[in-house]
C-alpha cells in the first residue's frame, strides 16, 4: 500500500499510535471556531430541535458518544439509529440527521438517507469528503483522520468523536443552549486528550501482552460500561469480534443482573470501562462472586471504592474522565487489547478474513 508503515509492525498499530496526533490536528483546526458557534454557523444548516444520528458499526458508537454529549449539555432529544433499521423510526419535526461513515460509502447508511423524508436536513461526518455520502448531504464535516488502511476502524473513531463533539458544542452555543464560557472549558478539556491518550497507550503497552495471554483461550468476553462509558464498551467488544473471531458481548453494567451474568463463569474475562461511576461497583462484585476475571479500564482516581477492586484485578488505569463525551482515552487500551489478542491467536489484524473496509452491499 501507499502508506508507509515506518517502524510499526502493522497498520493497526500505526493508526492506534496516531490518535493523539489526530486529536491535536483536529483541535488545531476547530478549537477557535467551537466556543463562538462559528463552526456551526459555517455549515449553513437550519437550527434543529432534535437530532437523529444514523450510522453502522464503529461509526455508530462514535454517534452514541456525540448523542450523549448533546443530551447532557443541551438537553436536546437525540436518537441513535442503526442505519439498516431507519425505516422503523419516526423522526419528529425539526430533526437534523447526522449521518456518520468513515468511508462515506456504506450502503446501509446511503439507503437509510434515501428512506428518510426530505424535510430533514442531513449533516455528513466522514473521512472522505468526496464520497457518495458527502454528495448526498446538505453539509459535510471532515474527520481529518488521514488514510485508514487497517480494516478495523481506530483513529477514524477518535476523529469522528472529536470532530462531532466540537461541532455539536458549537451548535449548542449558536442556538443559545450552551454558554460560550462553558464551551471554552469543554474545549480546554479536549485539548488535554492527546496527552491522556498517549498516557493510556503507555500503560496499556506495558500490561496488554500478559493480559491477552491470560484471556486468549476464553471462548467469550463481556464488556461492561455505564452511561457515557457504554459506547466505549460496545466498541471494545466490536473490535474483539472483528479481529479475533471471538464472542464478545457489551452490556450496560446495570443490565448484567437481568441476563448477561449467566454467561459469567470461572475465569470469564469481563472488561469494565470505568469512568469513575461508583455504581459500577456492584457489577464488579457480581462478576467476582461468579469467579469472573475482571479487567478495569480507567480506574485510577475512580470513585469505585478500593474494596470493590479485587487485589488481583488487572487494572489498566491512567486517570479519570468526567466529561460528557465519556472516557475517550479508554478506546486506546481497548483497541490495543483487541489487536494483541488477535495477534496471539494468529489473526491478521489489518485484514480480518471476513471484513471489508466498507460494506457497499446490504
Binding of residue 244 to ligand G6P (CB under 6 A): no
* 317, 296 Cβ separation under 8 angstroms: yes
Stretch that binds ligand G6P, among 149-157, 189-197, 258-266, 291-299 (CB under 6 A): 149-157
Identified binder of ligand G6P from the candidate list 32, 115, 177, 355, rule CB under 6 A: 355
Judged by beta carbon, residue 214 or residue 358, the one nearer ligand G6P is 358
Binding-site size for ligand G6P (CB under 6 A) equals 15
Q: Where are the alpha helices (DSSP H) in 75-192?
A: 107-115, 132-136, 155-174, 180-191
Binding to ligand G6P in span 53-82, by CB under 6 A:
56-59
Identified binder of ligand G6P from the candidate list 23, 53, 109, 201, rule CB under 6 A: 109
Q: CA–CA separation, 350 vs 210, rounded Å?
A: 22
Cell numbers describing residue 98 = 447526522
Supply the Cα-derived Rg of the chain in whole angstroms: 20
User: Which sign does the torsion angle of CA 234, 236, 242, 244 carry?
Assistant: negative
Binding of residue 106 to ligand G6P (CB under 6 A): yes
Q: CA–CA separation, 215 vs 264, rounded Å?
A: 14
Binding of residue 264 to ligand G6P (CB under 6 A): no
Using a 10 angstrom Cβ sphere, with 0-12 exposed, 13-18 middle and 19 or more buried, the burial of residue 13 is buried
Name the residue whose CB lies closest to ligand G6P.
57
Task: Classify 283 as helix, strand or coil.
Answer: helix
Closest distance of CB 35 from ligand G6P, Å: 28
Judged by beta carbon, residue 56 or residue 264, the one nearer ligand G6P is 56
Q: CA–CA separation, 274 vs 102, rounded Å?
A: 27
Judged by beta carbon, residue 63 or residue 228, the one nearer ligand G6P is 63
User: Which sign does the torsion angle of CA 123, 63, 216, 222 carry?
Assistant: negative
Closest distance of CB 350 from ligand G6P, Å: 12
Closest distance of CB 292 from ligand G6P, Å: 28
Judged by beta carbon, residue 99 or residue 280, the one nearer ligand G6P is 99
Closest distance of CB 115 from ligand G6P, Å: 16
Judged by beta carbon, residue 68 or residue 106, the one nearer ligand G6P is 106
Judged by beta carbon, residue 260 or residue 352, the one nearer ligand G6P is 352
Identified binder of ligand G6P from the candidate list 34, 102, 154, 302, rule CB under 6 A: 102
Using a 10 angstrom Cβ sphere, with 0-12 exposed, 13-18 middle and 19 or more buried, the burial of residue 170 is buried
Judged by beta carbon, residue 118 or residue 354, the one nearer ligand G6P is 354
Q: What angle, 0 to 180 degrees and rounded to 10, lies between the N-to-C axes of helices 57-74 and 155-174?
A: 30
Closest distance of CB 223 from ligand G6P, Å: 16
* 357, 151 Cβ separation under 8 angstroms: yes
Cell numbers describing residue 50 = 432534535
**Location of C-alpha cell 475465569:** 267
Interface with ligand G6P by CB under 6 A: which residues?
56-59, 101-103, 106, 109, 151-153, 355, 358-359
Amino acid at each position: 500500500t501507499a502508506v508507509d508503515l515506518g517502524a510499526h509492525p502493522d497498520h493497526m498499530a500505526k493508526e492506534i499510535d496516531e490518535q493523539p496526533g489526530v486529536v491535536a490536528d483536529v483541535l488545531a483546526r476547530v478549537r477557535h471556531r467551537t466556543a463562538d458557534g462559528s463552526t456551526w454557523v459555517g455549515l449553513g444548516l437550519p437550527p434543529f430541535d432534535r437530532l437523529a444520528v444514523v450510522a453502522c458499526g464503529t461509526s455508530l458508537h462514535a454517534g452514541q458518544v456525540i448523542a450523549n454529549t448533546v443530551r447532557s449539555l443541551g438537553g436536546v432529544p437525540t436518537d441513535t439509529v442503526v442505519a439498516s433499521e431507519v425505516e422503523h423510526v419516526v423522526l419528529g419535526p425539526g430533526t437534523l440527521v447526522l449521518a456518520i461513515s468513515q468511508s462515506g460509502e456504506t450502503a446501509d447508511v446511503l439507503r437509510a438517507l434515501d428512506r428518510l423524508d426530505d424535510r430533514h436536513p442531513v449533516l455528513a461526518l466522514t473521512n472522505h469528503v468526496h464520497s457518495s455520502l458527502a454528495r448526498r448531504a446538505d453539509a459535510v464535516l471532515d474527520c481529518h483522520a488521514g488514510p485508514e488502511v487497517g480494516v478495523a476502524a481506530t483513529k477514524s473513531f477518535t476523529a469522528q468523536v472529536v470532530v462531532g463533539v466540537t461541532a455539536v458544542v458549537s451548535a449548542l452555543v449558536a442556538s443559545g443552549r450552551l454558554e460560550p464560557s462553558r464551551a471554552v472549558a469543554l474545549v480546554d478539556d479536549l485539548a488535554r486528550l492527546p496527552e491522556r491518550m498517549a498516557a493510556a497507550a503507555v500503560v496499556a503497552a506495558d500490561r496488554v501482552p500478559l493480559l491477552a495471554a491470560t484471556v486468549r483461550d476464553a471462548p467469550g468476553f463481556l464488556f461492561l460500561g455505564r452511561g457515557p462509558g457504554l459506547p466505549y464498551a460496545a466498541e471494545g467488544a466490536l473490535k474483539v469480534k472483528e479481529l479475533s473471531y471471538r464472542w464478545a458481548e457489551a452490556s450496560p453494567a446495570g443490565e448484567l443482573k437481568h441476563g448477561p451474568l449467566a454467561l459469567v463463569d470461572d475465569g470469564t474475562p469481563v472488561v469494565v470501562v470505568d469512568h469513575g461511576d461508583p455504581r459500577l461497583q456492584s457489577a464488579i462484585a457480581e462478576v467476582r462472586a461468579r469467579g469472573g476475571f475482571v479487567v478495569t479500564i480507567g480506574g485510577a482516581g475512580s470513585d469505585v471504592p478500593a474494596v470493590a477492586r479485587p487485589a488481583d484485578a488487572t487494572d489498566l488505569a491512567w486517570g479519570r474522565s468526567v466529561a460528557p463525551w465519556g472516557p475517550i482515552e479508554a478506546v486506546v487500551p481497548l483497541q490495543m487489547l483487541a489487536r494483541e489478542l488477535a495477534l496471539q491467536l494468529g489473526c491478521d489484524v489489518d485484514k480480518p478474513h471476513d471484513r471489508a473496509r466498507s460494506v457497499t452491499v446490504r
